[in-house]
Amino acid sequence: MASIDKTAYPRFKRTISEPELREAYSPSLEEMDWAREMTDTDENRLSLMVWLKCCQRLGRFPRLAEVPPQVITYAREELGLPEDIGMVGVAERTGRNHKALVRARLGLDGDQANERACCTRPGYAPAMTW
């Protein structure tokens, strides 16, 4: 059986090892510069980086409650931010804007209507029939 993080609907593991954190959640210098250019506060920079790394890892945006605290802590440390900086103070609208920035950076469409139209094109065979 495939591990849960390698399925069609990947999720976070219950515990993430230090090597896995480094491999999946370490921002590159370019990503850190991008986040610095796109944000004006430490909280927003942390939020943007967490959404970027989570989307890269999972292929989707998880709910904030799904993101393991160790991922947020690791991103904070990688960005060199103080320990009291967190994501709970980031406004919902700002979070939506961050997700739009991540979609643009990763070349994701994010247009659900377009995705539904794709599924109705000739030649598309759904996996399940009702």
Residue 56 lies in a domain: yes
CB 45 within 8 A of CB 27: no
The per-residue pLDDT for 43 is: 95
Residue 63: φ, ψ to 5°: -65, 150
Residue 9 lies in a domain: no
CA distances from 27 to 22, 49, 53, 70, 123 (A): 9, 8, 7, 15, 39
- Collapsed DSSP state (helix, strand, coil) of residue 91: coil
**Among the ranges given (10-14, 64-68, 75-79, 98-102), the one the predictor scored with the smallest mean pLDDT:** 10-14
Residue 86 lies in a domain: yes
**Angle, vertex CA 89, rays to CA 109 and CA 42, nearest 5:** 80
pTM (2 d.p.): 0.78
Q: What is the span of the domain harbouring residue 19?
A: 14-110
Residue 7 lies in a domain: no
Residue 80 lies in a domain: yes
* Number of separate domains in the chain: 1
Residue 127 lies in a domain: no
Residue 110 pLDDT level (bands cut at 50, 70, 90): low
Residue 40 lies in a domain: yes
First-last CA distance in the chain: 26
Residue 2 lies in a domain: no
pLDDT mean across residues, the chain: 84
